[in-house]
Structure 1
Amino acid sequence: MRSVGIIAEFNPLHNGHVYALTRARQKAQADVVIAVMSGNYVQRGEPAIVDKWARAQMALSAGADVVVELPISVALQSSEQFAEGGVAVLAGLHVDAIAFGTEDASLDYAALAAKRMQASDTEVFRDYTRPYASQLADFYASEVGKKLTAPNQMLALAYAEANLRLHSPLTLVPLQRTGVQHDAVNRAAGFLSASAIRQAVFAGEDVTQYVPAMTRQLLAQQEHASWADLWPLLRYRLLTATLPELRQVDQMSEGLEYRMVACARTSEDFADFLHQVKSKRYTYARLRRLALATVLNLTRDDVRFDREHVLAHVLGFTAAGREFLHSVKKTATIPLITKVSSDMLAPGAPLYMTHRADSLYTNINGQVQNFGRKPLMQDSEFGGKTC
């Protein structure tokens, strides 16, 4: 079976995602679409609006054949590490191609990524007062003669670079984005970004025309998670943990623990906290990820261990997806998990960090996230069941 992979968050799944899943299948001439999806926490440093099982069900109803969870150790990282982790999962499952949305599908992403890999870090990153992403964008601009500042362009280049590092690279399938840009709030006919949809949902607005029926149904059924749920816990942790404890948090560096503790004392809410902590050196997304790692107590050692034990936790599949999983089960280079037992969640086990973080999400929506959960099986256009 020819397969194509997509790395996504579906937070929540909207009409643009349906288009991407359809185009990926068509352009790659694939029999199955494999979605590697962030779990209950996403790369911009937030809890997903609804849990991973609901979003997996959205994806299956919209054209994905297999949904695999992206490990939390890479889901909450910079675009380069996020891309590397997602590509590693696809490669471990012997997926043939990787599709990704971009504002310019005509660029030769493989060639640009190769130039970046050939350049030394001193050639690319010279100014330590500016964010890494800004300097990387400058490097690519010097190569193509125009700014590549759109988030999906930079993520596409990260996918291409991670892919080039593989022993057997996947085929790159760039998809021209349509409708609105990332984080856009201007409403185009039938399309609205996931960020704008979340804002509308939190405001109680109608998003019917921008999302499929399954997304509407599941958004109505589940509690919606946001930083409002986590801010009291973050503030408590910052004001009660010792500085040595905070220094062990993944991505905590350059004395940020002092700044975060001081700002936690005077901040009224999470938005105020971010505004106080913000500096030219760090993006808001970087600070949100650090804040999330802090409240979840994700240490550098935790993350290192998790990234050294890459696995594929299957959240759902279609009949075609089940056939694909059966075909790769014996040759996959990473463990394939379809049912989570208690020993997989124990300290030192590969799913321990995910389980620990998901326990907090359970407090928000009341749904058990791992133990005993079996993959969803898509059996109709707008329905899934646990098999």
Structure 2
Amino acid sequence: MEATGIIVEYNPFHNGHQHHATSAKKLTDADVIIAVMSGNFLQRGEPAFVDKWARTKMALASGVDIVIELPYTFATAHAPLFATGAIQLLDAIQCKAFCFGSEDGTIEPFTKSIQIIQQAGESYDFAIKEAVSKGLSYPKALNEAYKDALNRTTEPDLAADLSKPNNILGFHYMDASNAIQSEMKAFTIPRIVADYHDEAIVGNQIASATGIRKSFFESDTLGTVEGFIPEKTRDVLIEWRKQRQNFGSWSHFYPLLRFTILREGPERLRLIADVKEGIENLLVRAAANNDTFAGFMSDVKSKRYTWTRIQRMLTHIFTGFTYDMRSSIGGTPAYLRLLGMTEIGKLYLNENKKRLKLPLLSKAAAFSNPSLQMDIHASDMYALGLGYDTNCSQIGNDYKIPPIIM
């Protein structure tokens, strides 16, 4: 059996995600689709709409055969580290290929971009560092360095457009794969209909996860988004609301986040991962002055600090993730955390269990590792944030919920 890997968040799983999974399987002629999925906190620095087990159920019901958790330290990181962790996991579980959605829609521009940056060599890395030192955000600094490298080549039109969010991630996936000399073959499919920031539009069947969440929170009803999600996703969300009442968002988590910022103060906040350059003082002032998350972010956001960068800091503040903890975990995944599988996925794992490059974990209590402990802690903090105003916070689910079999 041959497997193709995809890198996902499913926040929540929608029709576009189903198209990605089924198209990846067809394009690569795979027997199995393996998804490396972020846990309860996501790459753009926000709590997941629903937890990793609910999203695993959605995925397994709609074209995915195995779901592996991307550890917290990678799932909440900037694009290069996010891609590095995910690609290493797909390589470790013996995928023959990986497939990502992109605005360009063909793999050749990404291959060309890799070649151009390799030819630029150290000047590319230097250009990024210099742009960051001048106050540009990392994504903008990368784009400026990339434009400079394109200007030095004779075929700039053949390269990928790295100003587009999915193209940026796709580039980093391919770069990470090259870095570890993986034998996985890269594929891409066009992202269809909705871009990341697009709102859900009645009449379309594809909407971005951002648009779906925005429509839901504005209406507080699943009826406004059910046309954009598979039936099983709808069923999981209905069951979630009955059991958990709330959906994950910073607006809901803000009272606990605000409490944490004000309790810790600037001195302790400086120890938190990604908090730097004196922003801890601004965070404390903004928390003291604002009763809402929207007001807080309005006070903190600037040209130097993008919305995403600030939210990553807030995620680490909320979970207590420090620079020292990040250093102890390192930059390489240490395990394959199994969240769920179909019967076909189970057959694949049984067939390949002796060939896996990392230990496969089905029980959290069976493995001791600082990265896994952080994953478990992050899940508990998510549960606390979700259920602090109810009687159903459900702390400790990592030890209670076995891998889902569908």
Structure-1-length-normalised TM-score: 0.92
Tell me the CA shift for residue 149 of structure 1: 1.6
Asked if residue 20 in structure 1 is aligned to residue 38 in structure 2, the reply is no
CA distance in 2, matches of 1:137, 1:212: 36
Q: 2:143 aligns with which of 137, 140, 144?
A: 137
- 1:353 partner SS: helix
Return closer, same or farther for 1:169/1:276 CA change in 2, 3 Å cut-off. Answer: farther
* Secondary structure in 2 matching 1:95: coil
Q: Which residue type is aligned with residue 266 of structure 2?
A: L
Aligned residue number for residue 327 of structure 1:
351
Residue 227 of structure 2 is matched in structure 1 by 209
Matches within 5 A, 1:65-214: 65-106=65-106, 107-117=108-118, 118-120=120-122, 121-127=125-131, 128-142=134-148, 143=150, 144-145=156-157, 147-185=161-199, 187=201, 189-203=204-218, 204-205=220-221, 206-214=224-232
- Stretch moving more, 222-231 or 72-81: 222-231
Q: Deviations over 1:45-89 (max 9, x none)?
A: 111111100100100011001001110111101111111110011
Amino acid at match of 1:311: Y
**2:328 and 2:370 in contact (8 A); partners too:** no
Could you say which residue in structure 2 is the equivalent of 1:381?
Answer: none
Q: 1:247-266: per-residue Cα shift (whole Å, max 9, x none)?
A: 11111111121221122111
Tell me which amino acid in the other structure corresponds to 2:206: F
Give the SS at the match of 1:47.
coil
Tell me the C-alpha RMSD between the 2 structures: 1.9
Query: 8 Å contact 1:310–1:334 — kept in the other structure?
Result: yes
- C-alpha displacement at 1:309, in angstroms? 4.8
Q: Residue deviations 1:122-163, cap 9 Å, x none?
A: 234433211110121233345235853221011111111111
Question: CA, structure 1 residues 169+273, in 2 after alignment: closer, same or farther (shift >3 Å)?
Answer: farther
Distance 2:57 2:190 in 1: 25
Cα separation, 2, equivalents of 1:375 and 1:153: 32
Is 1:356 aligned with 2:377?
yes
Q: What residue identity is the alignment partner of 1:103?
A: E
Residue 260 in structure 1 maps to residue 283 in structure 2: yes
Instruction: Tell me if structure 1 keeps the 8 A contact 2:5–2:90.
Output: yes
Greater share of helix:
2
Give 1:246's aligned amino acid.
L
- Mean Cα deviation higher: 357-366 or 263-272: 357-366
Secondary structure of the 2:397 match is coil
Are 2:85 and 2:333, in contact at CA under 8 Å, matched by a contact in 1? no
Preserved CA contact (<8 Å) 2:194 2:208 = yes
Distance 2:10 2:319 in 1: 22
CA contact (8 A) 1:137 1:147 kept: no
Contact in 1 for aligned 2:42/2:75 (Cα 8 Å)? yes
In the alignment, is the contact (CA less than 8 A) between 1:113 and 1:158 conserved in 2? no
**Higher mean C-alpha deviation, range 182-191 or range 64-73:** 182-191
Alpha carbons 2:88, 2:333 under 8 Å: kept: no
Contact 1:141/1:147, CA 8 A, preserved across alignment: no
Contact 2:265 / 2:284 at 8 angstroms: preserved in 1? no
Q: Distance in 2 between matches of 1:369 and 1:36?
A: 20
Q: Whole-Å Cα distance in 1 between the matches of residues 111 and 327 of structure 2?
A: 28
What amino acid maps onto 2:341 in structure 1?
Answer: F
- The alpha carbon displacement at 1:234 in A equals 1.7
Match of 1:340 in 2: 364
* C-alpha contact 1:35 1:64 (8 A) present in aligned 2: yes
* Equivalent position amino acid for 1:275 in 2: S
Question: 1:94 corresponds to which letter in structure 2?
Answer: Q
Question: How far apart, in 2, do the equivalents of 1:306 and 1:229 lie?
Answer: 29
Number of the residue aligned with 2:390: none
Percentage of pairs with the same residue: 32
Contact conserved, 1:34 with 1:66, CA < 8 A, in 2? Answer: yes
Give the 5 Å matches for 1:268-307. 268-307=291-330
The residue correspondences of 1:28-67 to structure 2 (distance < 5 A) are: 28-67=28-67
Question: Aligned-pair distance for 1:350?
Answer: 4.0
SS of the equivalent of 1:315 reads: strand
- Determine whether 1:376 maps to 2:387: no
Structure 2 regions of 5+ residues with no counterpart? 151-155, 241-245, 388-392
Do the aligned partners of 1:137 and 1:154 also contact (CA within 8 Å) in 2? Answer: no
Structure 1 unmatched runs, 5+ = 379-387
Structure 2 distance, partners of 1:102, 1:246, is 37
The one-letter code matched in structure 1 to 2:382 is Y
Deviation at 1:333, TM superposition (A): 1.6
Whether contact under 8 Å (1:259, 1:277) holds in the other structure is yes
- Relative to the length of structure 2, the TM-score reads 0.88
Q: CA deviation at 1:306?
A: 3.0
